[in-house]
Every structure is written in structure tokens, then in C-alpha cells.
Amino acid sequence: MDIEFLLFLQRLRDATAGVLDDMFVQFSVFGEPFYALILMGILYWCVSKSMGVFVLMGWDINRLANGFLKITFCAYRPWIRDPRVKPLESVIAKATGYSFPSGHTTNATAVFGGPALRRELSRPLRLALWSIVFLIGLSRNWVGVHTPQDVLVALVVGIALMLLAARICSWLEEHPDKDAVVAAAIALASIALIVYAATKAYPMDYDEAGNLVVDPQKMANDSFKNAGWALGFALGWLAERRLVQFEIDGTIQQKCCRALWGCLAIMAVYFPVTELVKMVVPGGVGSSVACFLQMLTIVFLVPLGISRMESKGESDH
């Protein structure tokens, strides 16, 4: 039934001469980690620190769950299961590894669905955010890289874990001295995922050309990346609470400057610094360290820079 749905969408793509393809590809792009990191950073530095912590925490917990589920079920992509499925060429290069559950939908559920769960947002805004989640999930079916169950399970698990993150954040408001406990729990879960990904057995199926259908090392590396992000959040968030405690208040000009410099910092770490780290520390360890630095930049290094620059600006006046 899942393959039949993808074939139905494929026929619809053909019948409409691909007129909707570019739109769905763009929605799909917004489910990628880079854009998730940018949006979460801006939310955290410029809009609402508490909302930012909630979304960042939920996103990282979701990444851990997504990594665990992917390497547990080891479900192949739709076109591997059935050659009648023909994904769009523009997206297939990035749709490597296992299929279940959808990582893009996981990201969308955390970044857009997380805030939509908060009652303080207006109903129209919440509806708009859920619409984005729906369109990103549907885009993964439309372009042919995920089955409906990949998307639906990612959505359900994502919502459940965002609700868990909301409960944790509420609990921390009542028990702020327990932040180290939360950070330690996330760090231990990250280490557990690394150990699990490094030691479990993976399917070793080959195609007609004699190549591995899915490279187990790559899938282990993807889980190491998820663990790196979560570790970076746990340690960076705790360090910010203890050492920085930056304030979200500021003028529009200050917040625009935060967003600009913060986004430049993320891009620097996400691209050149990440490539440099992978050259120095190859394999899964390098991937994990690179993602650790990306998240550390968002939750600790940028807030530290913001606090120092804005304090210096105030003292100069």
C-alpha cells in the first residue's frame, strides 16, 4: 500500500508535467539540518530564549531517536524495495542510507511543530506552522524518497518527544538547579547511541553490480552526527546557564546584528570548519566532533559573543 501511494504520486507528477516538483523540492530543503540550525539559532538569540531552548532540546532528542530507529529497523529506500519508484534526480543524491523514519520530517516537527504546540502563539500562526510541517512531510513522499509510514512515524514520534521536551522545560522552571541532571541524561543517551551504532550488526546486501545497497559505516556515521549535536546541546546549554546567562532583551538593531553574526558563525562552522575537522579527524569521530561544534556554537559560543559585544557597547556609551 505504501509503494502504491508513491506510484500514485509519481503518476500525478507525470500528469502535471512536474509543475509542482520545484515547489516540493524547496519544501524538502527546509527539512535539512543546516536550515534547522539557522532557524533554531535565530529563535534562541533574537526571539525567545525559553522557546529556543525548548525547540533545541526537542530537536536534539528527536535526532537521537531518529538515529536509533534508523539503524534498528534498517529499512531500505522505496526505489530499492521496488524499482518502479523513480525519485526525482535533484534529491536522490542526498537521500542515502536507510529510509525509516524520515529525518526531514523529524526536523520539521521539531523546528516548526514544536512552537505550534505552544498555546501562547496565535491560532493562525500555529496553523501556518503545522501547514509547513505537513508540506515538508508530503514533499518527501512527492519526490519519492520516503514512504508514508516513514513520514507518519517521524511525525508521531516527533510530536511525542517535543511534548516530552516541553515537560522537561516546565520541570526545570520549578527546579532550575536540576539542569545538570537533564544535561547528563542527554549526554548519556548520546553516548549510548554512539556505542549502539558502532557495535550493532547491519544488513550486508549487495546490488547487481556487487556494491553494498547501504554502507553500514555511513549509517553509523549519521548516528554519530546525531549524537554529536545532542552532546553539543547538553554541554553548551549547561555552560551557557552557568557561565553566560545572556539576555534576550535588546533593540531591533541589536537583534538583527545577533542574527547576522550568529548565522555567519553557523555557516563558518557548518562548512569550512566541519570540513577541516573531518580532514584532521576522519570517520565517525570527525563527524561527531563537527556536529558537536555546530551545536556548541549555537547554544554557547554565539551567546557568549553576544553578551560580551553588547556589554562592551553599553560600557563605551
Mean pLDDT calculated for residue range 156-169: 98
**What 8-state DSSP symbol labels residue 30?**
T
Q: What's the first-to-final CA gap in the chain, in angstroms?
A: 67
Compute the average pLDDT of residues 305-313.
79
pLDDT tens digits for range 21-72? 999 999 999 999 999 999 999 999 999 999 999 999 999 999 999 999 999 9
Residue carrying C-alpha cell 539559532: 41
Q: Of 201, 101, 99, 91, which Cα lies nearest the Cα of 157?
A: 101
- State the pLDDT confidence band at 309, using cuts at 50, 70 and 90: confident
pLDDT band, residue 313 (cuts 50/70/90): low
Select from 182, 198, 179, 173 the least CA-distant residue to 288: 198
Sign of CA dihedral 119, 121, 127, 128: negative
Q: pLDDT band for 315, please (50, 70, 90 cuts).
A: low
Reported pTM: 0.95
Burial of 273 (0-12, 13-18, 19+ CB in 10 A): middle
Percent of the chain with pLDDT over 90: 83
